[in-house]
Copies of this chain bind each other. A is one copy, B any other.
Amino acid sequence: MATIVDVASLAGVSTSTVSHVLNDTRHVEPETRERVMSAVRTTGYRRDVLARSMRRARTDSIGLVVSDAGEPAFADMVHGVEEAAAQNGLSLLLANSAEDTARERAAVEALLDRRVDGLIIARAAGSSDGLLARIREDKKPLVLLDRLADLDVDQVGVNNQSAMAALVEHLATRGHQRILLISGDLRVSSLRERYDGFHAAMLDRGLEVPASLLCEGTVTAASTFDRVRTLLTTSKDRPTAILACSTLLAAGALGAIQHEGLQVPGTMAFATFDGFTYSDLFEPQITTVRQPAFRLGESAVGMLLRRIENPNVPTEILRLESEIEFRRSTE
């Protein structure tokens, strides 16, 4: 492996000059520059990124920690981050916390150790603010993705409240009064926002939300399946509509609905956040709040870059709008 010293001696110049030619960081006589470039070519020299990063304060890499790499929405966000990073000449270091705060902590430490230029995090359920303090301690640029916080940090997510309001309005207009909300883990801010949005929207319409129409805290499809089945079989005031706040929750709920032999939308209306890919090809056709997940990832990179360029710009909080795909499940 050729080093800068090999190139310098072959070109008959100093390593300073080679470095300056490569980085275009000071004027070099055209003739000298050509000698250097030709030496680079004949030696097949490639700059050592590690050595370079050690001298500069930059590694040209960013870290991404997602909370659940399995969910389609997160897969799309990762995709968007990767795309935008590549476009900007940044390498992407990917880690998955799997909703485990200890793993999340370890991932963040590993990324900080690698001196990434910045971090993008979709925090795990129950993630503490201490983690963010740790990152701030290192003065590392940070963007919160999808799961936001009431903190002075750059963040990008979607407008969950308004999407939920639109969904409730859609159902209420069609006469649904008893709507079962499957909200998942309320420590997750996006789920909490959907939950709060639901209550606000129901209140607006003077609709009640009895405990028997709330399914909170389940975190797997299987446990959701069980809980929904129980709710459907025991409650005497059965809901006329079910609303799931994530793909996973929707999967559990749909399973329960089918198991109980209910028809969507015949005997039960149904809608979900995030939902399933290519769902317009399948029955039941499910009304879905679709996040712009790919763009969320892209935007996170943009915000991070802006913060890296200038650490002192004011904090930005970006809320993209989700689109609601209305389908037959709520007709």
Contact = CB atoms under 8 A, between A and B. Distances in A.
A82 B93 CA distance: 10
Contacts of A98: 83
Nearest to A69: B79
A95 B86 contact: yes
Interface stretch (A23-31, A45-53, A181-189): A45-53
Contacts of A96: 79, 82-83, 86
A92 interface: yes
A86 B103 contact: yes
Interface stretch (A190-198, A202-210, A276-284): A276-284
A277 B92 contact: no
Interface string A228-251: 000000000000000000010001
A59 interface: yes
Contact of A276 (B70, B103, B277, B283): B277
B93 A92 contact: yes
Interface string A84-122: 001000011111101000010011001111110000000
A292 interface: no
Contact of A50 (B53, B72, B92): B53
Q: How large is the interface on A (under 10, 10 to 19, 20 to 34, 35 or more residues)?
A: 35 or more
Contacts of A247: 278
Contact of A115 (B50, B113, B254): B50
A14 interface: no
Contacts of A50: 50, 53-54, 59, 114-115
A201 interface: no
A278 B283 CA distance: 12
Given A93-B92, A281-B258, A283-B283, A114 B79 contact: no
A302 interface: no
A142 to B, nearest CB: 18
Contact of A277 (B54, B72, B82, B254): B72
A213 interface: no
A308 interface: no
A61 B51 CA distance: 16
A265 interface: no
A112 B46 CA distance: 10
Given A69-B75, A91-B95, 4 more contacts: A46-B113, A49-B114, A51-B54, A61-B114
28 contacts: A47-B113, A48-B54, A49-B113, A50-B53, A50-B54, A50-B59, A50-B115, A54-B54, A69-B79, A70-B79, A72-B277, A82-B95, A86-B95, A86-B103, A86-B106, A91-B93, A92-B93, A92-B95, A94-B94, A247-B278, A251-B278, A254-B278, A254-B281, A255-B281, A258-B281, A276-B276, A276-B282, A282-B283
Of all A-B residue pairs in the complex, the 5 with the closest CB atoms, nearest first, are: A282-B282, A75-B75, A283-B283, A69-B79, A94-B94
